Amino acid sequence: MSEHNSHISNALIHETSPYLLQHAYNPVHWMPWNEKAWFKAKEEDKLVIVSIGYSACHWCHVMEHESFENQEVADLMNQFFVSIKVDREERPDIDHIYMDAVQLITGHGGWPLNAICLPDGKPVYAGTYFKREQWMYLLSFLEEEYRTKRSETLKRAEAITHDLKQLDIIPLAANVPFSPVVVDDIKEKMIRNWDFQYGGRRGAPKFPMPSSLLLMIDLFHFNQDKKVLAAITVTLDSLIMGGIFDHVGGGFARYSVDEYWHIPHFEKMLYDNAQLLEVFAKAYQLTRKEEYKAVIYKTFEFLQRDLRDTSGIYYSALDADSEGVEGKYYIWSIDELKSILANDYTLFVERFLISEDGNFEGENHLVRKSLAGFGSTQEQNWMNKLYAVRSSRIAPGLDDKSITSWNALLVKALSVCYNVFNDARFLTEAEQINLFIKQNLLQSDNILYRNFKKGKVSTPAFLEDYGTCIASNIALYSATFQEEYLFAAKTLTDYCIQHFYNAQNGMFFFTSIDDEPLISRKTETADNVIPSSNAVMANALYYLGEVFDDSSYQRMALQMAQNMQKLTEEHPFFYSAWARLELRIIAGFTQVAIVGEECERYKNELDRLALSNVLVLGSKSNSKLPLLMDKHIMGKTMLYICKNKSCSLPVQTVKEAIDLINA
């Protein structure tokens, strides 16, 4: 923070976002995104700086310290611009627009994201991190051009905005059946870009990309290709061994800066850890590797300890920095390790890469040499000792806002973990989070809110939030057979169709018809670390169409998949959730209806198996769900196996059911 005027706050002081509050004492006259800021720009005829980031972003902190805390920079910004700060996690709708602009202009993206715009929001220029001198030169150039050559500025802004809108034109595709022959092609394209030595996509930096790993698991189910299984296991083994996993405290960092997963960018995000729980649980079903089970429990422990609010909702993130230094909280000197571990130090360095030179800023971040000893009582004792010392350090900053979609991802993952391990702690937590969302973020008219902090909600939810809540309710039904979850998913789906659906091309807008209009209404389709909101909706519609025997849902899902088919088959890594849907459409669901008092016990038996494209529904008695209707036989629990709207004669054992599934 600049010493000059350090006691004077700007307009961000009234916000709840930790990221915005970080900038509340900058000498820059920041304003939040609101009508007042844009009115000021129009009234004063000034260009607008839209600066976007998030609280755990290391380079956002660097640019703040270098530029936004500097009085000379602030004077330039305050005199000639209206400056708006945006938390991308609270307002992904704004972030999507200006991130597209950055990528159109520079060919790459990232955060901090800084866009210079006309007073109507149309971008004139956009980039990511700028050094102080670059930033001041850019602002001076654009301000002078706006004053002296305004026609050129306006022309450029119109061209960029036109191109932005073109990105969201998705044509309505013809109704062409999906062919099974594309499965091998998708598989080969995934394998071609896979790193079989260290896992994940080739190159650096490396992101875990849970959706791509789930696609690989689905591909293995499809044809049992051992090379696909090897791709999965080498990735998960490397993640566990690498420094991207916090061996002391549990949980995964955002990404690795190298191709070996050794040194992370140290921020920890809820959405990564939630989805990785699901990946490891499904991989455990395939492999029965105890290391995968151990990492799930250690990650769950981290989430509950470090990101859980006492009310039952989860916070967003832990910062990469502590005391202004990236990674300081996590690294060790040799002398510290020797002192803490004493006689066990020699064995410790046989298992971990420890050196005099260190591997990060002259010290040691823990990276394993192998999986030997992982999860053992001995190693847990070591980590407990290290954690006791680490806890006395100044911890990284906590982003204590809660995001609906990220919590819904955790609900879904914990539901899967419950199915795999039959541990009630996973289900109890999943249901608690879901109940919190229902009671605090969902209104009686089905309007959902995106963010929650200290008893307050502020931002209406986006398609991402609705879609993940639909998916989490579906997952809870699969874990419990409680039909209220299915009907909640259906209600939210119908709301999305009313408020987000684009009838012209069969896709969904990211924003509701009730949201404030921006310069472009985005349609999110590419799967990133979080699957795209349209892919999540399409998968949910396809599932709900089966469960409720609703052909309109299924037609919508098929149309969406067909619209995306070309991109999915050409670039499956970047459209992995779409590829998973395509595989599901090609294979078709096998429906298992379990009806009778013992339905939960049979479900638990099925859950222990690694089944693919099997839709399991159950009820202890009569149900109104089409697949379960009129199947209850008093005093018996029966399993019905159904394919293509035709059911077999009922059986009474899981073994008989599996034989029919595999027939």
Residue 209 has pLDDT above 60, yes or no: yes
pLDDT, mean of residues 210-231 = 96
Q: Does residue 201 sit in helix, strand or coil?
A: strand
Contact at 8 Å (CB) between 545 and 557? yes
List the CATH number of the domain containing 495.
1.50.10.20
- Is the same domain home to 393 and 416? no
pLDDT band for position 634 (cuts 50, 70, 90): confident
CA distance 481 to 477: 5
Of residues 4 and 323, the one with the higher pLDDT is 323
Mean pLDDT of 229-253: 98
What's the distance, Cα to Cα, between the start and end of the chain in Å? 68
pLDDT at residue 7, rounded to an integer: 65
Q: What is the pLDDT of residue 663?
A: 79
pLDDT of residue 5: 47
Residue from 6, 5, 12, 18 nearest 30 by CA: 12
Q: Which of 127, 150, 167 is the last residue of a domain?
A: 167
Same domain flag for 152 and 72: yes
Backbone φ and ψ of 455, nearest 5°: 85, 0
Q: Do 498 and 569 have their domain in common?
A: yes
Percent of the chain at pLDDT exceeding 90: 91
Burial bucket for residue 647 (CB in 10 Å: 0-12, 13-18, 19+): middle
pLDDT beyond 60 at 104: yes
Q: Are strands 507-508 and 268-269 parallel, antiparallel or unpaired?
A: unpaired
350, 270 contact by CB (below 8 A): no
Same domain? For 298 and 391 the reply is yes
Give residue-wise pLDDT tens across range 135-161: 999 999 999 999 999 999 999 999 999
In a domain, 462, yes or no: yes
Domain boundary among the residues 365, 400, 435 is at 400
pLDDT of res. 324:
86
* Same domain (yes/no): 92, 226: no
> pLDDT tens across 274-296, in order?
999 999 999 999 999 999 999 99
In a domain, 197, yes or no: yes
State the alpha helices, DSSP H only, in 149-264: 150-167, 181-192, 210-223, 226-241
List of residues 6+ apart from 66 with CB closer than 8 A: 131, 132
Of the candidates 607, 574, 642, the residue with the CA atom closest to the CA atom of residue 479: 607
Alpha helices in 565-647 (DSSP H): 565-570, 576-587, 599-607
User: What DSSP string describes 610-643?
Assistant: --SSEEEEEESS--SSTTTTT---TT--EEEEEE
pLDDT in tens, 472-515: 999 999 999 999 999 999 999 999 999 999 999 999 999 999 99
Other Cβ atoms within 10 Å of 151 Cβ, number: 8
Q: Looking at the domain assignment, is residue 185 inside a domain?
A: no
- The answer to whether the pTM exceeds 0.85 is yes
Whether residue 142 sits in one domain with residue 274: no
Answer for the pair 232, 216: CB distance below 8 angstroms, yes or no: yes
Please report whether residue 177 resides in a domain.
no
> Band of the pLDDT at 608, cuts 50, 70, 90?
confident
Same-domain pairing of 416 and 548? yes
198 to each of 212, 234, 235, 586, how far by Cα in Å?
15, 6, 6, 31
Radius of gyration from C-alpha coordinates of the chain: 26
Distance CA 150, CA 153 (A): 5
- Based on the structure, what is the number of domains in the chain? 4
What whole-number distance in Å separates Cα of residue 573 and Cα of residue 579? 9
Token pair 């005199």: residue: 79
Dist CA 244 CA 265 (whole Å): 8
Last residue of a domain, one of 531, 563, 588: 588
Mean pLDDT of all residues belonging to the chain? 95
What pairs with residue 406 in β-bridges? none
- For the stretch 74-100, pLDDT in tens is 999 999 999 999 999 999 999 999 999
Establish whether the linkage from the previous residue to 517 is cis, with ω within 30° of 0. Answer: no
Q: In sequence order, what are the beta bridge partners of 449? A: 460
Q: How far apart are CA 9 and CA 11, in angstroms?
A: 7
The answer as to whether 188 is a domain residue is no
d(CA 461, CA 441): 9
6 pLDDT band, cuts 50/70/90, is low
Does 583 score more than 50 pLDDT? yes
Element of type H or E holding 141: helix 132-148
Q: What is the rounded average pLDDT of the residues 25-48?
A: 97
Do residues 290 and 375 lie in contact, with contact meaning Cβ atoms separated by under 8 Å?
yes
592 pLDDT band, cuts 50/70/90, is very high
**One domain for residues 582 and 594:** no
Asked whether residue 230 falls in the same domain as residue 131, the answer is: no
CATH of the domain at 26: 3.40.30.10
Q: Residues near 129 by Cβ (< 8 Å), separated by ≥ 6?
A: 59, 62, 63, 110, 112
Return the pLDDT at 168.
87
- Asked if residue 175 is part of any domain, the answer here is no
User: Do 600 and 483 sit in the same domain of this protein?
Assistant: no
Give me the domain span that covers residue 653.
Answer: 590-662
155 & 256 share domain: no
* Residue 608 located in a structural domain: yes
Residue 180 lies in a domain: no
Per residue in 346-383, pLDDT tens? 999 999 999 999 999 999 999 999 999 999 999 999 99
Instruction: Answer yes or no: are the C-beta atoms of 267 and 391 closer than 8 Å.
Output: no
Cβ–Cβ under 8 Å, residues 479 and 415: yes
Tracing tokens 């062409």 back to the chain, one arrives at 176
Quick one: tokens of 600? 């939960």
Token look-up 């520079």 returns 106
| Cβ 627 vs Cβ 591: under 8 Å | yes
Of 464, 316, 478, the residue nearest 398 (C-alpha): 316
pLDDT at residue 658 is higher than 70:
yes
Q: What is the C-alpha to C-alpha distance for residues 474 and 487, in angstroms, rounded to an integer?
A: 9
> The sheet that has 614-619: what strands, in order across it?
614-619, 590-595, 638-643, 646-647
Same domain assignment for residues 299 and 373 = yes
Are 97 and 522 contacting, i.e. CB atoms less than 8 angstroms apart? yes
Q: Is residue 559 scored above 70 in pLDDT?
A: yes
